[in-house]
């Protein structure tokens, strides 16, 4: 038997290592690369009824990642997107696929409350961190769990902010008629608008519920006008809201009757209305670009410089959610989802909305909500000066008896 010299052994080892590396199956090489990356998924509506918001949400998330030079704890961030289509089946299937193929640990989105609840169930089962911004109370209520967080204000807080501040300015406007998007977002906001109205003695003279994507509103506007309301309350968003406002003006109901939108997208929607159709329009929103916190001012300045328009609610929400997750990674000193969950729970900090507290019992992000009055043409200082913030606040908080998150569970 011929024995190898030490030199020959070293050479043979080097050759073997080279062969093994070059011949390593692609899935193993990919897995090793993913171990070094922090993979974040934006599940956004690039098609479907909310498709206008998809690119804006994508922009906001990219901004937050670019702010940290694309790294978390020194590791590269891999940002990927998938189209939710605003369909629960499509969204959950694509989130599952991204977790399996890309090793996703952090999911931001989508943009529909109904779809978000389905995605939240995937996050719970697959143990990935999920942050969402929307009007459903269920994510931080009866369907709460340790892996999902809610960025938007509670619909209880938002509804009371809007009703209380509008009635303070219009104490005689007691007759309200509601248009409601017929899914979980609309149901939650409608529920709390009616509860908030009780202390002001409001009379709800009619409610029409309609599916997202409805495009014909002449019949329901005529029906609302026949009820002689003081306020037409539009629990709707995106194109549904835009078309409702236009039809109310075409019919002659507005601006004589105030239009109140308890939960909207702010400048993204207001930009699609002219000064005439913005007259006597009041809207609540989770984000408005004139917010003057240090984080908000910097974001608005950078965004406006790049795109020529101020950021709306969609870009702001995805930016702030991503920013909080990235800061949570730093706070946890870990890229593991469970560790970041623990770091976020109970955290009091300053971010885009100003003071932020993440309730550890419900994962509701407690932050300010905005109530806006649209400006008259002579009040506008520039083309994007759509409205003024007339009220801002994070109270009243939802009372314990209303919250159905009795046990948020374990990791």
Please check whether residue 272 lies inside any domain of the structure.
Answer: yes
- Could you tell me if 279 and 296 lie in one domain? no
* pLDDT of the residue at 33: 52
- Could you tell me if 260 and 373 lie in one domain? yes
pLDDT in tens, 141-194: 999 999 999 999 999 999 999 999 999 999 999 999 999 999 999 999 999 999
Mean pLDDT of 317-332: 99
- Could you tell me if 175 and 240 lie in one domain? yes
* pLDDT of the residue at 35: 64
Please check whether residue 21 lies inside any domain of the structure.
Answer: no
Cα–Cα distance, 307 to 303 (Å, whole number): 6
* pLDDT of the residue at 400: 87
Mean pLDDT of 214-222: 97
**Does residue 19 surpass a pLDDT of 80?**
no
Output the six-digit token pair for 398. Answer: 């939802």
Strand order in the sheet with 148-150: 71-72, 75-83, 38-44, 106-108, 129-132, 148-150
CATH number at residue 79: 3.40.50.2300
Please check whether residue 402 lies inside any domain of the structure.
Answer: no
Please check whether residue 17 lies inside any domain of the structure.
Answer: no
**Does residue 282 surpass a pLDDT of 90?**
yes
- Could you tell me if 81 and 221 lie in one domain? no
- Could you tell me if 278 and 291 lie in one domain? no
Please check whether residue 404 lies inside any domain of the structure.
Answer: no
- Could you tell me if 121 and 234 lie in one domain? no
**String of DSSP letters for 242-268:** HHHHHHHHHHT-TTTSEEEEEEE-THH
**Does residue 201 surpass a pLDDT of 60?**
yes
- Could you tell me if 163 and 278 lie in one domain? yes
Please check whether residue 189 lies inside any domain of the structure.
Answer: yes
Predicted TM-score of the model (pTM) = 0.90
Which among 367, 383, 404 is the end of a domain? 367
Mean pLDDT of 235-249: 97
Strand order in the sheet with 281-285: 203-210, 175-181, 231-235, 258-264, 281-285, 369-374, 387-393
Name 350's Cβ contacts closer than 8 Å, sequence gap at least 6.
293, 294, 295, 356
Check: CB of residue 60 under 8 Å from CB of residue 315.
Answer: yes
pLDDT in tens, 35-68: 699 999 999 999 999 999 999 999 999 999 999 9
* pLDDT of the residue at 14: 44
* pLDDT of the residue at 17: 43
Residue 32 pLDDT class (50, 70, 90 cuts): low
**Average pLDDT of every residue of the chain:** 93
* pLDDT of the residue at 11: 46
Cα–Cα distance, 367 to 354 (Å, whole number): 7
- Could you tell me if 269 and 355 lie in one domain? no
Instruction: Give me the number of domains the chain comprises.
Output: 2
% of the chain at pLDDT higher than 90: 91
Please check whether residue 403 lies inside any domain of the structure.
Answer: no
**String of DSSP letters for 286-330:** S--TT--SHHHHHHHHHHHHHHSS---HHHHHHHHHHHHHHHHHH
- Could you tell me if 296 and 212 lie in one domain? no
* pLDDT of the residue at 268: 92
Q: Which structural domain, as residue segments, surrounds residue 74? A: 26-153+287-367
* pLDDT of the residue at 12: 42
**Does residue 29 surpass a pLDDT of 90?**
no
**Does residue 30 surpass a pLDDT of 90?**
no
pLDDT in tens, 81-106: 999 999 999 999 999 999 999 999 99
- Could you tell me if 189 and 240 lie in one domain? yes
Please check whether residue 75 lies inside any domain of the structure.
Answer: yes
* pLDDT of the residue at 84: 99
- Could you tell me if 169 and 254 lie in one domain? yes
* pLDDT of the residue at 255: 97
- Could you tell me if 302 and 249 lie in one domain? no
């Amino acid at each position: 038997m011929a024995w190898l010299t030490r030199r020959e052994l070293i050479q043979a080892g080097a050759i073997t290592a080279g062969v093994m590396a070059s011949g390593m199956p692609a899935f193993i090489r990919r897995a090793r690369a993913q171990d070094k990356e922090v993979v974040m998924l934006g599940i956004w509506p690039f098609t479907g009824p909310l498709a206008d918001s998809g690119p804006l949400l994508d922009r906001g998330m990219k901004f937050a990642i670019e702010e940290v030079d694309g790294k978390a704890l020194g590791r590269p961030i891999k940002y990927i997107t998938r189209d939710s289509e605003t369909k629960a089946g499509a969204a959950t299937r694509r989130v599952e696929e991204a977790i399996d193929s890309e090793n996703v640990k952090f999911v931001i989105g989508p943009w529909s409350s109904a779809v978000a609840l389905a995605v939240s169930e995937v996050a719970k089962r697959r143990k990935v961190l999920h942050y969402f911004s929307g009007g459903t109370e269920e994510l931080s209520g009866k369907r709460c769990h340790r892996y999902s967080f809610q960025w938007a204000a509670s619909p209880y807080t938002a509804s009371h902010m809007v009703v209380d501040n509008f009635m303070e300015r219009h104490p005689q406007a007691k007759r309200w008629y509601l248009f409601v998007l017929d899914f979980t977002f609309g149901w939650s906001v409608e529920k709390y608008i009616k509860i908030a109205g009780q202390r002001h003695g409001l009379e709800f003279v009619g409610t029409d519920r309609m599916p997202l994507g409805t495009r014909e509103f002449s019949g329901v506007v005529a029906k609302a006008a026949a009820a002689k309301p003081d306020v037409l309350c539009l629990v709707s968003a995106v194109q549904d809201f835009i078309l409702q406002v236009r039809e109310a003006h075409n019919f002659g109901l507005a601006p004589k009757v105030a239009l109140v939108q308890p939960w909207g997208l702010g400048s993204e929607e207001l930009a699609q209305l002219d000064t005439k159709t913005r007259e006597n329009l009041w809207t609540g929103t989770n984000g408005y670009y004139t917010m003057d916190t240090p984080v908000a001012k910097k974001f608005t300045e950078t965004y406006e410089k790049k795109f020529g328009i101020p950021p709306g609610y969609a870009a702001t929400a995805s930016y702030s959610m991503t920013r909080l997750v990235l800061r949570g990674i730093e706070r946890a000193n870990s890229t593991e989802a469970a560790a970041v969950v623990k770091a976020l729970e109970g955290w009091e900090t300053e971010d885009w909305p100003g003071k932020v507290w993440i309730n550890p019992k419900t994962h509701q992000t407690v932050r300010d909500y905005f109530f806006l009055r649209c400006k008259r043409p002579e009040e506008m200082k520039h083309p994007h000066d759509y409205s003024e913030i007339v009220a801002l606040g994070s109270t009243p908080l939802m009372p314990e008896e209303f919250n159905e998150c009795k046990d948020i569970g374990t990791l």
